[in-house]
Amino acid sequence: MTIINNKWGWLFITSFKGISQVIFIDNAASGFIMLIAITLASYPLGIIALISSMVGTLVAKIGGADNESINQGLFGYNSVLTGMALSLFLTGNDRWLIAAVGAAIAAIVTAAMMHFMRQTTIPILTFPFIVITWFLLLSTYRLVTFKISSALIPQSLSHWTPDIKGQINLLTGALDSMGQIFFLDYALSGILLFLAVFLAGWRWGIYAIVGTIAALLTSYFLKGEHTLISHGLYGYNAVLTMLAVSEVFKENHRYSVVTGIFAACLTIPITASIDTWLLPYGLPALTLPFVVCTWIFLAARKVMSQI
């Protein structure tokens, strides 16, 4: 019985870390708070987040991956995001099964990309999640088993006009900038996610706030669509980029904070560009702006040692 309990305890702790690693945090307590934040916004989404993290963890364990990486939750976070995205962007009763299978595939793709990028020392970040989610969503146009949500509608660029009318709720925009990392549009969830980040360290929390402010100001002065700003859709990539460049992968670079702020600001035009590029396909940008900006600055540091 003790062995069984230990196994279940290990699985839950590692799965909580898989959730927290979405924001680079290796802390089961932070992951548990994040799971509560997700569940408060959507009970089914909280379930699929936990199941997806467990699936990714178990696939890595059964597959014989490095135990240290597994225990840090590094095979869980892409599975978490993939499972959540597929459950949101697909329809039909079988989308839960598809989401779980997608979570398993995410763990395998994560392992493959770890191998391919090992020599570069550039982290894979959330790229496996992006690729798997896009591929499965696009397959719905050819494979009728997969049914895409009506919210994802391909649109023609020739008829597209940005809507910059109405007021911007900066507080809501700030909280949702954190929440949208997990596809959440709920103020209380945003507050809990900020608390989870501060639990990992006060610097983490400060950088998350700075990234949020950078995103709000940049998107406002560049006259981004007010609805997108208020719902945090310009902010979540900036938060992740700020944390990645300024804290997680800083490697004692002198100007890492300044570089992080600049990188966070850069996610805004990149997000607008990627959104426009994907408009004819009806696909969400997901975390690609964060991945692109972070890769750019981490690669640049290989040549410019002070940034």
**CATH no. for residue 53?**
1.10.3430.10
pLDDT score at 157: 80
pLDDT score at 3: 46
> Based on the structure, what is the number of domains in the chain?
2
Partners of residue 147 on adjacent β-strands:
91
Mean pLDDT of the region 106-122? 96
Domain boundary among 121, 145, 169: 145
- Cβ neighbours, 10 Å, residue 252: 5
Closest CA to 145 of 101, 90, 100, 103: 90
How many angstroms separate the Cα of 294 from the Cα of each of 74, 85, 241, 243?
A: 18, 22, 6, 10
How many angstroms separate the Cα of 93 from the Cα of each of 53, 146, 183?
A: 21, 11, 20
Q: Is 190 helix (H, G, I), strand (E, B) or coil?
A: helix
Q: With pLDDT > 90 as the criterion, what percentage of the chain qualifies?
A: 85
Quick check: is 32 in a domain? yes
Quick check: is 150 in a domain? no
- Residues 288, 184, single domain; the answer is yes
Residue 1 has pLDDT above 50, yes or no: no
Quick check: is 62 in a domain? yes
- Residues 41, 92, single domain; the answer is yes
> Amino acid letter at 125?
L
Quick check: is 152 in a domain? no
- Residues 117, 239, single domain; the answer is no
Domain residues for the domain of 249 are: 157-307
Largest CA distance in the chain: 64
Instruction: Please give the DSSP secondary-structure letter assigned to residue 91.
Output: E
Quick check: is 151 in a domain? no
Query: DSSP alpha helices (H): ranges in the chain?
Result: 2-20, 28-41, 43-62, 67-71, 77-89, 95-116, 127-139, 170-179, 187-200, 202-221, 226-230, 236-243, 256-278, 288-300
Q: What is the mean pLDDT of the chain?
A: 94
Q: What is the per-residue pLDDT across 127-173, written as a single tens digit (0 to 9) for each?
A: 999 999 999 999 999 998 899 999 898 988 877 777 777 788 899 99
- Residues 141, 32, single domain; the answer is yes
The number of residues making up the chain comes to 307
> Amino acid letter at 26?
D
Strands 147-148 and 90-91: antiparallel
pLDDT score at 4: 45
